[in-house]
Amino acid sequence: MIMKDTIVLGGSSGFHLAYRVSKLLGATLGDIEVKSFPDGETYIRIISDVKDKTVIYINSLQPSPNDKIIETLYTLETIRDLGASKVLAVIPYMAYARQDERFNPGEAVSISILSKLFRALDIDAIYTIDMHLHRIRDPTKLFGAKFHNLTGVRELAKYIKKNYSIENTVVIGPDEEAEQWAKIMAEELGGIEYTVLEKKRISAEEVIIETRDINVKDKNIIIVDDIISTGGTMVEAIKAIKKLGAKEIIATCIHPLLVNKAYYKLLKLEPKDLIGTDTVLSPISKVSVAPTIVEEIKKNL
């Protein structure tokens, strides 16, 4: 299927996905120029002709989320201003989703502010992948009905099914929030057993993982979580599961931010594999969410 009137544009953290999405859609891959002026201000230029076209713009808000937010907002507004007939924004990783409440007096509720900036844009739809949902369960209450929160877990499961045996395997979420992803992973792998651990957060980088009454001795384990940031949660989960006598461990996540020494800390634990998606490019981004994005976008084309 060739989509002559559809252009896919990739921002500085989205070009890899823009390329893959354009190939799957049979759409034109367009060009954008993004650079910084000497004083740090952002320069945006849409090189491709977008007038009267459907434009799919893809950019993750990592790394350097503040810069990526400005780049993304400026680009989306410019696309519409240049006469695009339809503008679809794909934000594979939505920054600031974890700052969804005022924990201390005077704090900014960052995701609420960010959602207002996106709602002010004249765009037709926003797509993201596994936005971190804790206290805010329904992101459409922030971003509006045109917001679509997709999941990359099914693509992770397909990769595992293709490359590994799932015999004698249990899926584990490192905390209660991760149960939603553990459930999807277990279903996609044929309805195998799944459970979750209990997490107590000490600080932004330190957590304690406590195990429930689960039997993983001599079993293969797939851990699934939405984000690996500093690696604290995944590291403690792997340690806890090893103490229970697990055989082999595959650690997976949707968004492999891998800040500081997270990748190094995980490698030291020698899991059978570390697998992330390409919502954010990293050394473990082995699975693409492009098929998931394309499947949903086709509904709006």
* Each residue's pLDDT tens digit, 108-147: 999 999 999 999 999 999 999 999 876 666 778 888 879 9
pLDDT of residue 95: 95
| Omega cis (within 30) before 63 | yes
**Which residues have CB under 8 Å from 23's CB, separation 6+?**
none
What are the structural domains, with CATH classification, of the chain? 3-150 (3.40.50.2020), 153-287 (3.40.50.2020)
pLDDT of residue 4: 74
Beta bridge partners of 250: 222, 273
Pair of tokens at residue 216:
């993983």
Burial degree of 269 (CB within 10 A; 0-12, 13-18, 19+) = middle
What is the four-CA torsion angle of 37, 38, 41, 45, rounded to 10 degrees?
0
Is the pLDDT at 20 greater than 70? The verdict is yes
Q: What is the pLDDT of residues 210-253, one digit of tens each?
A: 566 678 889 999 999 999 999 999 998 999 899 889 999 999 99
**Which one of 199, 242, 268, 298 is the catalytic residue?**
199
- Name the average pLDDT for the chain: 92
Is the pLDDT at 261 greater than 70? The verdict is yes
Length of the chain: 301
Q: What is the pLDDT of residues 160-202, one digit of tens each?
A: 999 999 999 999 999 888 899 999 999 999 999 999 987 666 5
pLDDT of residue 211: 61
Question: With contact defined as beta carbons under 8 Å apart, do 267 and 274 qualify?
Answer: yes
Dihedral sign (CA 235, 218, 216, 187) = positive
Nearest to 275, CA basis, from 261, 265, 290, 263:
263
Local structure of 163: helix, strand or coil: helix
Q: What is the pLDDT of residues 207-219, one digit of tens each?
A: 565 566 678 889 9
Mark whether 199 is an active-site residue: yes
